[in-house]
Structure 1
Amino acid sequence: MIKGFKEFILRGNVIDLAVAVVIGAAFTLIVNAIVKGIIDPLIALIFNASSLDKVGWTVENYNGDEVFFGFGMILGAVINFLAVAVVVYFVFVYPMNRFKERAAARRGIVEEEASDLPTEQELLVQIRDLLSTTPRA
């Protein structure tokens, strides 16, 4: 039983997954810090961000009690989501894509050349045709 557990833990994909979780947690802290340190103050300049939770309307129910429908919280969550998405794209994804493009250009890999290569199906058809024309002994 211990041997099986040891094999499970020492498998490469389990270790990779554990590293990905740890890196993901650290990455989340970085993105949240950028959003809270830069994006939220920019939003506060435009909107009164502290009062977004209080934006909504109050309706009286049949007992005479007031019920508050707060769409400001939803608006705040949408703004926060969009801010996180913008930060992730422009700070991490876009620069990484540019870096990969430049690295590929330095190696001489051009995507146009790659599209000229035959597909896997075309290669299999060529192999089949060659095998069918080859005389059997």
Structure 2
Amino acid sequence: MVSENNEPSLWEGFKAFLMRGNVIDLAVAVVIGAAFTSVVNTVVEGVINPIVGAFGTQDLNKYSYCLQSPCKPATGGAEAEGIEIMWGTVVSAALSFLITAAVVYFLMVLPMAKYLARQAAKKAEKEGTQEVMEVSELEVLKEIRDALVAQRGSGHTEP
């Protein structure tokens, strides 16, 4: 179904978007990313936090700063008191992000970049070989032409 100004309908555009293939790649990436996030969070909680715990508390989430005293969490029916900045939670999330980014870079992005560079080098090498063959064929044809011209000139005289 095409509109009056020859633009595809909204449905056709959406269908073309889904069929491009990028959507499937994106969906796979999101699922893998979600599963990987769980692994990274477990590493942070099971390895990084105990290492930090050697210098303080074992849970980064417990590191905080009280802006307005007294800082007391909500208990029972009472409201929380004070203003507490949970900077340990931010540090934990930043560590999770850095670990995730490092693993994605070193296990996925870097190897793919090297693979694509090798493929590009092979393609360039193949195109360079074909170009050399084309140039040499052209030179041979020029030599044949020159030989034929020279042969005509020496054996035949025009009136």
Q: Where in structure 2 are the equivalents of 1:23-34 lying within 5 Å?
A: 23-34=28-39
SS in 2 for 1:67: strand
Q: Could you tell me which residue of structure 2 aligns to residue 54 of structure 1?
A: 62
Separation in structure 2 between the aligned mates of residue 45 and residue 20 of structure 1, nearest angstrom:
37
Q: How much has 1:94 moved relative to structure 2?
A: 0.5
- Against the structure 1 CA distance between its residues 40 and 108, is the aligned structure 2 distance closer, same or farther, given a 3 Å change threshold? farther
Separation in structure 2 between the aligned mates of residue 55 and residue 29 of structure 1, nearest angstrom:
26
Q: Could you tell me which residue of structure 1 aligns to residue 86 of structure 2?
A: 70
Q: What code does the residue aligned with 1:71 have?
A: W
Q: How much has 1:39 moved relative to structure 2?
A: 5.7
- Against the structure 1 CA distance between its residues 20 and 44, is the aligned structure 2 distance closer, same or farther, given a 3 Å change threshold? same
More helix by share: 1
What is the RMSD of the two structures over their aligned residues, measured on CA atoms? 3.1
Q: How much has 1:77 moved relative to structure 2?
A: 1.1
Q: Is the 8 A contact 2:62 2:86 kept in 1?
A: yes
Q: Could you tell me which residue of structure 2 aligns to residue 106 of structure 1?
A: 122
Separation in structure 1 between the aligned mates of residue 100 and residue 36 of structure 2, nearest angstrom:
7
Deviations 1:32-68 (Å, cap 9, x if unpaired)? Answer: 254245565442352238511110133416xxx4432
**Which of 80, 88, 112 is residue 96 of structure 1 equivalent to?**
112
Number of aligned residues: 105
- Against the structure 1 CA distance between its residues 39 and 72, is the aligned structure 2 distance closer, same or farther, given a 3 Å change threshold? closer
Separation in structure 2 between the aligned mates of residue 96 and residue 77 of structure 1, nearest angstrom:
27
Instruction: Provide structure 2 residue ranges, at least 5 long, that are not aligned to the other structure.
Output: 2-8, 71-80, 129-159
Q: Could you tell me which residue of structure 1 aligns to residue 135 of structure 2?
A: none
Instruction: Provide structure 1 residue ranges, at least 5 long, that are not aligned to the other structure.
Output: 114-137
Q: Which sits farther off after the overlay, 72-81 or 15-24?
A: 15-24
Q: Could you tell me which residue of structure 2 aligns to residue 82 of structure 1?
A: 98
**TM-score, with length taken from structure 2:** 0.51
- State the identity as a percent: 21
- Against the structure 1 CA distance between its residues 97 and 35, is the aligned structure 2 distance closer, same or farther, given a 3 Å change threshold? same
Q: Is the 8 A contact 1:35 1:87 kept in 2?
A: no
**TM-score, with length taken from structure 1:** 0.58
Separation in structure 1 between the aligned mates of residue 89 and residue 25 of structure 2, nearest angstrom:
31
| Poorly superposed stretches of 4+, deviation over 6 Å | none
